[in-house]
C-alpha cells in the first residue's frame, strides 16, 4: 500500500515538472520566435518629425524622398515602402516620401514700391523654375514725411536678399494712404516692435517696452504681444525667442540698467563709419536703476548707442554677424 502511495506521489511530481517545463518552454518560444522582427506602423498622413523617434525605437533605417505638393502640409508623409501591419526585421530600410511644403526663395526688395505693387510682387516669387507666393504677416502704417509718397513701403522684415522658404511671412512698414478707408486697424498687436517704435516716434508719442515675453517660436519673436496706450505713453510687451547665431539679419533685444537720472536717446550707427542710420528712442526721461528695454531688427553689422541729450555716451553695444561653421 505504501509503495502505491509513493508511486502516485512520484507520478504527481513528475507531471507537475512536465507541465512547468512545458509552460516555460512555450514562454521562451513565444518570446524568442523572432526578437528582431517588428510590425510596420501606418505613417501616411502623419508628420515625419512626430514619428521620427518611434522609427528609431523600432530600429528601422529610414530613407527620405521629397516631393512638392502645395496643398499638403510641410513634412507630411505621402507614402511608405512597407505596407502597414507587415512584419519587418529591425535594421531594414524603409523609404518614406515626405512633402516639401515650402520652396526656397529669395526675399524681394519691396522698399519704394506702392503697397499694391508690393502685393503683386509677393504673389509671384521665383523659386527654381516655378512661381510661389509669400504671405504678408502684417502691415504697420506710419505717417509719411515730406519726402515720402503715401501708401508706399519704406521698410520690410525680413530684409531683401535673404534666402528662406516661402512659408516665412514678410512684414511691411507702409506710409499712411491718403484715404483712411484704405487703412486697416492700427492696433499694433502682432506687428514687429521695430516698426511700431518707428510709427510711435513719427507721432512723437513716448513708448517703453515694459518686458520681453519669452517664446519658443521664432516666427513670434520681435512681435508686439500687448500694448497699453494712454495719453502719456505706450507700454509694450514684446515676444523674444532664444538667441541663436547672429546671421546677416535678425532681431536684437537689449536690457540696460540706467546709471543716472536723465533724458536719453537711443540710435543705431553704421558699424564701420559710425554714422547714424536710425533713431530708436528720442528724448525720453529715465531714472537711475530703471531697466531700459529696446528691440530692433539688425541688417548686417551695427552699433547701438545710448546717449543723453547732453551728448554724453552712456552705453555703446556692438552687434556683428557670426556665421556658424
- Domain map of the chain by residue range? 41-99, 102-184, 187-325
Report the alpha-carbon distance of residue 160 to residue 117 in Å, rounded. Answer: 16
What is the model's pTM? 0.71
Please tell me if the domain spanning 41-99 has the same topology as the one spanning 187-325: no
Confidence of residue 164 (pLDDT cuts 50, 70, 90): confident
Q: Decide if 249 contacts 218 (C-beta within 8 A).
A: no
- pLDDT value at position 4? 46
Residue 21 CB-density burial (10 A; 0-12 exposed, 13-18 middle, 19+ buried): exposed
Question: CB of 100 within 8 A of CB of 128?
Answer: no
CATH of domain 102-184: 3.30.10.20
For residue 324, the model assigns a pLDDT of 46
C-alpha cell at 179: 484715404
For residue 27, pLDDT beyond 80: no
187-325: CATH, from 1.10.10.10, 2.60.40.1930, 3.40.50.2000, 3.40.50.150: 2.60.40.1930
Band of residue 67 on the pLDDT scale cut at 50, 70, 90: confident
pLDDT of residue 226: 97
Q: 222, exposed or middle or buried, with CB in 10 Å at 0-12, 13-18, 19+?
A: buried
Question: Residue 316 pLDDT more than 50?
Answer: yes
Whole-number pLDDT of residue 288: 96
Q: Which range among 16-20, 25-29, 53-57, 217-221 shows the weakest confidence by mean pLDDT?
A: 25-29
Q: Which pLDDT score, from 0 to 100, does residue 325 have?
A: 42
Whether the predicted pLDDT of 197 surpasses 90: yes
Q: What is the pLDDT of residue 130?
A: 84
Q: Residue 79 and residue 65: Cα distance in Å, rounded? A: 10
Does the structural domain 41-99 have CATH classification 1.20.1630.10?
A: no
Concatenated DSSP letters for 250-292?
Answer: EEEEEEEE--SSEEEEEEEEETTT--EEEEEEEEEEE-TT-EE
Cell of 21: 517545463
Residues 6+ apart with CB under 8 A from 36: 89, 90, 91
| Helix (H/G/I), strand (E/B), else coil: 141 | strand
Query: Please, which pLDDT band fits residue 5 given cuts at 50, 70 and 90?
Result: low
Distance in angstroms (rounded) separating the CA atoms of residues 286 and 262: 6
Share of the chain above pLDDT 70, in %: 84
Query: Comparing 11-25, 146-160, 212-226, which segment has the lowest mean pLDDT?
Result: 11-25
User: SS3 of 220, please?
Assistant: coil
Is the pLDDT at 158 greater than 80, yes or no? Answer: yes
Model confidence at 34: pLDDT above 90: no
What distance in Å separates the CA atoms of residue 133 and residue 104, rounded to the nearest whole number? Answer: 11
Average pLDDT over residues 149-161: 96
What is residue 16's predicted lDDT score, i.e. its pLDDT?
64
178, HSE (Cβ side, Cα atoms, 13 Å): 4
* Burial of 121: CB neighbours in 10 Å, binned 0-12, 13-18, 19+: middle
Amino acid at each position: 500500500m505504501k509503495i502505491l502511495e509513493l508511486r502516485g506521489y512520484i507520478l504527481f511530481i513528475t507531471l507537475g515538472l512536465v507541465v512547468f517545463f512545458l509552460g516555460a518552454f512555450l514562454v521562451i518560444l513565444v518570446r524568442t520566435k523572432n526578437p528582431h522582427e517588428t510590425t510596420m506602423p501606418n505613417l501616411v498622413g502623419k508628420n515625419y518629425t512626430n514619428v521620427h523617434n518611434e522609427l528609431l525605437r523600432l530600429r528601422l533605417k529610414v530613407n527620405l524622398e521629397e516631393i512638392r505638393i502645395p496643398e499638403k502640409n510641410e513634412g507630411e508623409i505621402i507614402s511608405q515602402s512597407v505596407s502597414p501591419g507587415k512584419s519587418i526585421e529591425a535594421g531594414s530600410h524603409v523609404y518614406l516620401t515626405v512633402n516639401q511644403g515650402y520652396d526656397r526663395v529669395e526675399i524681394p526688395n519691396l522698399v519704394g514700391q506702392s503697397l499694391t505693387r508690393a502685393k503683386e510682387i509677393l504673389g509671384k516669387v521665383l523659386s527654381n523654375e516655378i512661381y510661389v507666393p509669400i504671405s504678408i504677416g502684417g502691415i504697420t502704417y506710419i505717417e509719411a514725411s515730406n519726402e515720402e509718397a503715401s501708401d508706399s513701403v519704406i521698410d520690410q522684415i525680413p530684409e531683401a536678399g535673404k534666402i528662406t522658404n516661402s512659408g516665412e511671412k514678410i512684414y511691411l512698414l507702409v506710409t499712411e494712404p491718403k484715404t483712411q478707408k484704405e487703412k486697416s486697424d492700427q492696433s499694433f498687436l502682432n506687428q514687429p516692435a521695430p516698426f511700431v517704435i518707428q510709427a510711435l516716434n513719427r507721432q512723437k508719442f513716448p513708448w517703453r517696452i515694459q518686458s520681453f515675453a519669452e517664446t519658443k517660436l521664432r516666427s513670434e519673436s520681435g512681435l508686439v504681444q500687448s500694448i497699453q496706450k494712454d495719453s502719456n505713453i505706450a507700454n509694450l510687451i514684446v515676444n523674444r525667442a532664444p538667441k541663436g547665431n547672429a546671421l546677416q539679419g535678425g532681431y536684437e533685444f537689449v536690457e540696460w540698467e540706467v546709471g543716472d537720472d536723465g533724458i536719453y536717446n537711443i540710435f543705431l550707427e553704421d558699424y564701420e563709419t559710425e554714422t547714424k542710420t536710425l533713431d530708436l528712442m528720442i528724448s525720453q526721461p529715465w531714472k537711475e536703476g530703471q531697466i531700459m528695454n529696446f528691440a530692433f531688427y539688425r541688417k548686417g553689422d551695427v552699433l547701438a548707442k545710448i546717449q543723453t541729450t547732453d551728448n554724453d555716451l552712456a552705453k555703446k553695444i556692438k552687434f556683428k554677424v557670426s556665421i556658424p561653421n
